[in-house]
Structure 1
Amino acid sequence: MDNKKSKLIADVLTYLCLAVGTIAFLFPFLWMFGTAIKTMPEAMTWPPKLLPDKAQFNNFVEIFKGTVLLRSMYNSIVVTLCAIVVNVFLASLAAYGFERMNFPGKKFWFNIVLLTMMVPGALLIIPLFFIVKSLPGTSFGWLDTYPGLILPYAVTGFSIFLFRQFLVSVPRDVDEAAEIDGCSKFQTYRLIIIPMIRPAMGLVAVFTFLLVWNDYLWPLAISRSEDMYTAQIALKFFQGQYTINWPYLMAGATVVAMPSLLFYFFLQRFFQQSLSNLGTGGK
Structure 2
Amino acid sequence: MGNKVFHIILFLLLVMYDFLPAQMPDWSFFRDGDGNVYYFDKNGKIWTSGKPEFQYKTITVSGMDYYIRQTEELFKSHYPVEGLILIKTILAMPRSDQRIIDSQSRASSLLNTMKRLEGSRFDAYNEKASPLLYRQGEVTSVVNDIMFYSIGVPGQVTILNNRWRKSVSYRYNGILFGVRTITGKEAAGGEKFDMLIAVDAEEFAVPIKKIEDMEESLHNKTGFESIIRQTIERNDHRIISSYESTGPQKYFGFEGIYVNNKLGYIIRTIAPVGERRDLPELLKKPVFELQISRI
> What's the TM-score, normalizing by structure 1?
0.22
Larger radius of gyration: 1
